Structure 1
Amino acid sequence: MKTRAAQLQDVTTLVGFINEAYRQPHSKSWTSEIHLFDGDRIDDIQLLNVLGNPAHQCIVHEDESGIVACICVHDHDKIAYISIFAVRPDLQGQGIGKSVLAMAEEYIYYFNEKVKYIHIPVYAVQEELIKFYERQGYRQIPLQHDESREIPQVLGEAKQLLTLLLMEKELSR
C-alpha cells in the first residue's frame, strides 16, 4: 500500500470516496452513517478548506485499484484531532483501519512534541465504532464546549438527535 499526503487535485476523488464510505449502504460496512444522516458527508469546498489549512494533514492510502483509506490530523495546543477517517467499505474488517490509525498516531507522536492527547469525535449511537477505538486504547470523554470548533462539521440532515462525544488517547512521552 502506498501512503502519501492528499493533494488539491485529489479533492473530487476523495469527496466521492468519503461520501461512499460514510453515506452509502454497504453490507460489509460497520462505519456507515446512512442511518444517521440524509445527504453527503462532505463536499468539495469543505475538503478544500481542510487541505488548504496548514494545520491539517490529510493522508491517503492507495493500492493498485485506487484509494483504500484516508485520515486527517490537526492539532491545537496539546490535543491532536483525527477526522475524515474512512476505509473503503468492501475492505473493512481486514485490519486496514487499525493500521491507518496507528500510522496517524505515530505521525502525531513524532511530528508534534506538544501533543499529549488524541481526540476522535464519534456519535454516541455508533457503538461498534466506539468499541473499535476502545480496542485501540481510546476512552470515552465528554465533548467540551470550546472543542466543538476544532471538529469539522458534517453535511447532511440528521435523522435523529445525536450526541457527539470524544474518544481520547493519551500519548506516553
Structure 2
Amino acid sequence: MTTLVRPHYRPAVAADVAAIVALVESAYRGESGQRGWTTESHLLDGQRTDADSVAGLIARPGSSILLAECDGVPVACCHIEQHGDEGYFGMFAVSPDLQKAGLGRSLLAEAERVARDQWRSQSMRMTVIEQRAELIAWYERRGYRLTGETRQFPYGDARFGIPRCEGLRFVWMSKPLHEVVA
C-alpha cells in the first residue's frame, strides 16, 4: 500500500480546470489509467471530461469540485452537487500512482461531510457503470446501496466517452448521510 501524507481539501476554482481534466483523464483513460484499478479503458475510449464541462461544474451554483492536494499538487477530486435534500457525487478520480492508499476513501468522506454539514443533505446519490462490479462493491463497503434505478449510457455523446461494447448502463447508488460519523 502506498503511504500518503494527510491531504488538504479545498473547493476548486477556475484556475484548477486544466489540472482537474488531466487528473480525471489519467485515472480513467489511456495508459496511466491502467496503472490504477479505476480505469474504464476496457469499456470506453475517448475523453472522460473536458475543460468546458469542468469549468461549468465549478461555476454552477450548488455545485463544487473538491480537490485533495498533497504538497500543493492535486492528487484526487470529485464533483458534488446539491439536489434538494440530496447530494450528488460524481467525477471521482484519484491519481493512479496513489490509488489503494486510502485517499479515495478519505475524499469520499469529505464529500459526504460537506453535503451533510454545509448543504444539510439527507443522503448522497451517484451513478456507476453497471459493468464496474469492483467499483460498486467498493461503494457498498462504504455504506452505499443499489437503489434499483438505472439509466442508459448516453451512446453517441462523445462527452461521456466512446463505448467499446454494447449494453452499458448506469446504476444508481445511495447512502443516508445521518449515518456518517464526523
For normalisation by structure 1, the TM-score amounts to 0.88
The residue that corresponds to 2:160 in the other structure is: 155
**Are residues 1:135 and 2:141 paired?**
yes
Contact 1:28–1:92 (CA under 8 A) maintained in structure 2: no
Listed as ranges, the gaps of 5+ residues in structure 1 are none
Q: Please, which moves more after superposition, 63-72 or 34-43? A: 63-72
Offset of residue 78 of structure 1: 2.1
The residue that corresponds to 2:16 in the other structure is: 10
Contact 2:34–2:41 (CA under 8 A) maintained in structure 1: no
CA distance in 2, matches of 1:143, 1:77: 19
Listed as ranges, the gaps of 5+ residues in structure 2 are 1-6
**What letter is aligned with 1:59?**
L
The residue that corresponds to 2:102 in the other structure is: 95
| Counterpart among 32, 42, 58 of residue 39 in structure 2 | 32
What is the correspondence of 1:106-125 to structure 2 with a 5 Å cutoff?
A: 106-113=113-120, 115-125=121-131
| Counterpart among 51, 63, 85 of residue 56 in structure 1 | 63
CA distance in 2, matches of 1:13, 1:96: 18
CA distance in 2, matches of 1:142, 1:80: 18
CA distance in 2, matches of 1:159, 1:122: 17
CA distance in 1, matches of 2:44, 2:161: 6
CA distance in 1, matches of 2:93, 2:50: 15
| Counterpart among 72, 77, 80 of residue 70 in structure 1 | 77
Offset of residue 36 of structure 1: 1.1
**What letter is aligned with 1:156?**
G
Identical amino acids, percent of aligned pairs: 32
CA distance in 1, matches of 2:178, 2:40: 32
Offset of residue 32 of structure 1: 0.8
The residue that corresponds to 1:164 in the other structure is: 170
- Deviations along 1:114-135, one digit per CA (max 9) or x if unpaired, are x222111101110111111011
CA distance in 1, matches of 2:17, 2:114: 22
CA distance in 1, matches of 2:34, 2:20: 21
CA distance in 2, matches of 1:27, 1:100: 21
Cα 1:27/1:37, change in 2 over 3 Å: closer
